[in-house]
Structures are given as structure tokens and as C-alpha cells.
Structure 1
Amino acid sequence: MDYQGVLMKMPVELDDTIQYFLNFEDDVLHMNQLIGREISITFVHYQCLNCGKDKKIFRQGYCYDCFYEIPQAADWVMRPELSKAHLGQEDRDLEYEKKVQLQPHIVYLANSSNVKVGVTRKTQVPTRWIDQGAHEAMEILEVPNRYLAGVAEVALKEHVSDKTNWRTMLKNDVKDEDLADWRDKLKEFIPEETKEYFLENNTETQINFPVNKYPEKIASLNLEKTPAFEGTLEGIKGQYLLLSDNRVFNLRGHEGYVIRLGIKSGKTAAPEA
């Protein structure tokens, strides 16, 4: 059976084991049901997530022109401390920037490959953690806008990482950490203007991914270099499909690519928690 559509980040649901879905225009696939099955992915063409044109994807699912024009791809998205909507100052589209920046944001600690600090809108908890492949996470600040979250993150990343080692995360070569202990150690480094938003008593959120087998060595698949491939879907972690022969496919890294997904008939092997 074949399905075709433009790739976008998979919606997720927090459950005992994370539930993944792949949305195409006319179909919604429950990806957990495909674990243990043979699948194939074939590149068809590009489709920019903004303009919809068949133009080579530059970054984040957008063509070059859209990436440098639309507010969804502005610098403040990746660097929250650059947010200016709280000052009434426009970057690319003040109405959009107010809508996104002037809402509650969470500064969090997450453990994907190591303990890291990050920022996300409150409405994106726990989705953001799941997308990063974190097996445990905890909110440490809840602030009223994106700028303050960015200020806190900048200060804290002097003392804890703000990056994830994706290879370590995908091999599941991680150890449990006491995030409450990390929170308490980092408290003294929180900027004065955000201290009132510190969350003293939160507990960790535990996250389990649907994976039958983790890769031992990682071979990353790229549709530019390998426009068609097939194999057994061994699991899903973050926004990566884990395939047989230690291959991994970063679905989010291919947003804006129209693909044809083939599913071979056969029984589905139930993934381990």
C-alpha cells in the first residue's frame, strides 16, 4: 500500500509509550503500527511549507526566499533572547511576533544525550521534549514571554549544555539524571529579572519511545543523496525513523519534501516500551 504527501513534523501523544502520527493531505498514519514492518520511502518533489511551490528546500521546510522573508523563520525563533515583541518592535511581522512571543514560555531541563537547557512555549510541553528524544525532562521556569525565557537560557547555558548529541540520543547511550538536583544547582545562575518565575517543586516527566531495536552504529539517510530506500522500521525516537541496518531518517530534517511511503503487507511486531 502506498501513501503520498509532503513531510511535516510528526504529531505526537504522550502515553505509556509515545504515539506517533504522520499527516498527509488525505491520510493520517499511526506510525507505531508500522514498527516491525517493511517500509519504503521515495522522494517525489519539493513543496515549500509556506509558498507551496516546487522549489528546493533551504531550511526548516522552506525555500530560500520564504526562509528569509517569513516570521516563522526569523532569528528569534532559534535565539529567543532576540525577541522584541514585548517592546512593540517589529522584526518581520509584529502581529505574528506578538502572538507567538507574548505568551507563557517554559525554560526546561531535558536529558536526551546529556542534561541540557532549552526553551519552548508552554503549549508545546511535552511535545518539544519528545521531538528532542528526551527520556526525562522538567520545567524550571515559567515566564510570561519569549524574551525572558531567552535571557534565562543564555545565562544557564554557561553552566549546562544547550545542545543534544543526536547520535548518542539515537543509540540510547544515555543515563538517568536527577533533574531536580540539577535544577537546584542551577538556581543561583538564574538572572535576577526571572527569579520570581522559578519553579521550586516540579517533578520529572518520564518519556518512553516505541523502539524494538536501537542502532549500534548510525548511518544517516538523506533524500538528496539517497532518493529512495527501504527497510524494516525498528522504532521511532525524537523525529527520527530507526530502520534496519543501523540506518536513521530525520523526518523533521526533510520537511517540505513530498515523498511516497510504501508499506509491505505483513504482521506488525509490537514495540517494547
Structure 2
Amino acid sequence: MTYEGTLTKMQTEFANPIQYYLVFENSFLNVNQLLNKNVEISFQGYQCLNCGKKKKIYRQGFCYDCFYSSPAVGDWIMKPELSTAHLGIQDRDLVYEEKVQLQPHIVYLALSSEIKVGVTRKTQMPTRWIDQGATQAISIVEVPNRYLAGITEVALKNHFADKTNWRKMLQNNVEQVDLIAEKLKVQNWIPTEVQEYFYSEKNDLYEMHFPVLEYPKKINSLSLDKTPNFQGKLTGIKGQYLLFDDGTVFNVRSFEGYVVTINV
């Protein structure tokens, strides 16, 4: 069976195990059903996720022009502490920025390789943690805007990593840590203006179980720019990665905006 379309990050369903879906314009594919089967991925071209034009992808699924003009990829996306909508100050499009920034955000601890601190909109729980390949996650604070979440994350970067070691995550080389105990340490580390939002009593620990038959011992990252046609047996899905039996791993999110055909 053949599927064709523009790659976007896999949609997920919080279940045991996590369910993954590749969604194209006219079809979708439950990726879990491909486990232990041969899958062929072939690069066909580009389509910018913003303007829809068949222009080479620059970053994050956007062509060069859209990456430097769209409010969806402003600097505050990666650095929440740069958010200014709460002050009524525009970066690229204040209406868009108010919509995204002025809503409840969560600062959390997640365990994907070692403990990391991160920020997500409340509506993105637990999707954000699934996308990172976290096996466990716990909320620290819920704040009313992205700026407060950002300054909290900055303060906690002095104590925790803020990036996932993706190789350790994919090899399931994960530290054994009590996240509830770690959370109780952070109250004195967060900014004064965020103290009132600290979740002192609520300790909802999320656990994620990924559909992986076998973790790779050695990792070779697949690039569609270098290898436009790849075939292998799918042995797992974790984070936004497809894992194959020869140690090849494919980060779907890194190739958003690439048009592919997938033969099963």
C-alpha cells in the first residue's frame, strides 16, 4: 500500500502504548500497525507548511521567507522568556501572539534521558512529553502566560538540563529518578512572581509507554537530503522518531514540509 503527502509531526494518542498517526491531506496511517514490517520512504519534493508553495524547506517545515516572517516561528517560541504579548508589545503579529502567549502554560520536569525542564501550553499536555520521548513527566507550575513560564524555565536551567539527549533517549538509556521528590526541591528556585503558582500539593505523575520492539544499540540518523530513498524494518516509535532494525532512526519532525511516498 502506498501513502503520499507532506510530512508533519506525527499525531499521537495517549494510550498504552502510545498510538502514532501520520496524517496527510487525503489519508492517514496508524504507524503502530507497521511495526515489524518493511517500510520504504521516498523523498518527492517540498511544500512549505505556511505558504503551501513548493519551495525548499529552510527550518521547521517553513521556507526561508516564511521562517523569517511568520509569527508561528518567532524567537519567543524557542525562548518563552522573550514573550511580550502580556505587555501589549508585538513581535511579528500581536493578534497571533496574544492568542498563543496569553493562555495557561505549564512548566514541567520530564525524564527522557536525564531530567529536563521545559515549557508547554496546558493544551499540549501530554502531547509535548510524548513528542520528546519522555517516559515520565510532572508539572511544577501552571501560569497564565508564556512569559512567566519562560522566566521560570530560565531559573531552573541552573539546576536541570533544558534539552533531551536524543541518542540516550532512543537507546532507552534513561536515569532512574524520583520526579516527585525532584519537584519538591524546586520551590525555592523559581522566581518570586511565580511562587503563588507552584503546585505544592498536586503531584500528577504521567507515565508514557512507547511502542518499541527493540531499541537500537548503534544509531544512524536518516537524512532525506542525503538518502532520498530508504527501506527498512520498523522496530519502534519513540518521541517523533521511527526506529529501524539496522539502527537507522528517522526524525519525522525534522523533515516537516518534505513531500514523501511511503510504501508498506
For residues 214 and 43 of structure 1, the distance between their equivalents in structure 2, rounded to whole angstroms, comes to: 25
For residues 191 and 4 of structure 1, the distance between their equivalents in structure 2, rounded to whole angstroms, comes to: 48
Normalized against structure 2, the TM-score is what?
Answer: 0.99
1:89 aligned partner: 89
For residues 72 and 243 of structure 1, the distance between their equivalents in structure 2, rounded to whole angstroms, comes to: 32
RMSD of aligned residue pairs (Cα, Å): 0.6
1:15 aligned partner: 15
For residues 29 and 224 of structure 1, the distance between their equivalents in structure 2, rounded to whole angstroms, comes to: 23
Note the alpha carbon deviations across 1:100-125, whole angstroms, 9 max, x for none: 00000000000000000000000000
1:34 aligned partner: 34
1:223 aligned partner: 224
Q: CA deviation at 1:203?
A: 2.6
Most deviating of 231-240 and 173-182: 173-182
Q: CA deviation at 1:145?
A: 0.3
Mapped pair 1:176 → 2:194: no
For residues 134 and 2 of structure 1, the distance between their equivalents in structure 2, rounded to whole angstroms, comes to: 31
For residues 52 and 234 of structure 2, the distance between their equivalents in structure 1, rounded to whole angstroms, comes to: 29
Q: CA deviation at 1:57?
A: 0.6
User: Residues 106-125 of structure 1: matches in 2 within 5 Å?
Assistant: 106-125=106-125
For residues 102 and 166 of structure 2, the distance between their equivalents in structure 1, rounded to whole angstroms, comes to: 31
Runs of at least 4 residues off by over 4 Å: none
For residues 182 and 71 of structure 1, the distance between their equivalents in structure 2, rounded to whole angstroms, comes to: 35
Q: Secondary structure at the match of 2:180?
A: helix
Note the alpha carbon deviations across 1:169-217, whole angstroms, 9 max, x for none: 0000113311111111121101000000001221311100000011001
Mapped pair 1:213 → 2:214: yes
For residues 230 and 16 of structure 1, the distance between their equivalents in structure 2, rounded to whole angstroms, comes to: 27
Q: Secondary structure at the match of 1:109?
A: strand
Q: CA deviation at 1:87?
A: 0.4
For residues 177 and 16 of structure 2, the distance between their equivalents in structure 1, rounded to whole angstroms, comes to: 20
Q: Secondary structure at the match of 2:5?
A: strand
User: Residues 192-203 of structure 1: matches in 2 within 5 Å?
Assistant: 192-200=192-200, 201-203=202-204
1:270 aligned partner: none
Q: Secondary structure at the match of 1:232?
A: strand
Note the alpha carbon deviations across 1:200-237, whole angstroms, 9 max, x for none: 22131110000001100100000000000001010100
Q: Secondary structure at the match of 2:185?
A: helix
For residues 254 and 19 of structure 2, the distance between their equivalents in structure 1, rounded to whole angstroms, comes to: 20
Q: Which amino acid aligns with 1:27?
A: S
1:129 aligned partner: 129
Q: Which amino acid aligns with 1:79?
A: K
Q: CA deviation at 1:159?
A: 1.0
1:149 aligned partner: 149
Q: Which amino acid aligns with 2:40?
A: S
5+ residue gaps, structure 1: 264-273
Q: CA deviation at 1:257?
A: 0.1
1:60 aligned partner: 60
1:46 aligned partner: 46
Q: Secondary structure at the match of 1:172?
A: coil
For residues 72 and 203 of structure 1, the distance between their equivalents in structure 2, rounded to whole angstroms, comes to: 30
1:101 aligned partner: 101
Q: Which amino acid aligns with 1:21?
A: Y
The number of residue pairs the alignment matches comes to: 263
Q: CA deviation at 1:251?
A: 0.3
Normalized against structure 1, the TM-score is what?
Answer: 0.95
Mapped pair 1:248 → 2:249: yes
For residues 53 and 176 of structure 2, the distance between their equivalents in structure 1, rounded to whole angstroms, comes to: 44
- The percent of aligned pairs where both chains have the same amino acid is 60
2:262 aligned partner: 261
For residues 146 and 95 of structure 1, the distance between their equivalents in structure 2, rounded to whole angstroms, comes to: 15
5+ residue gaps, structure 2: none
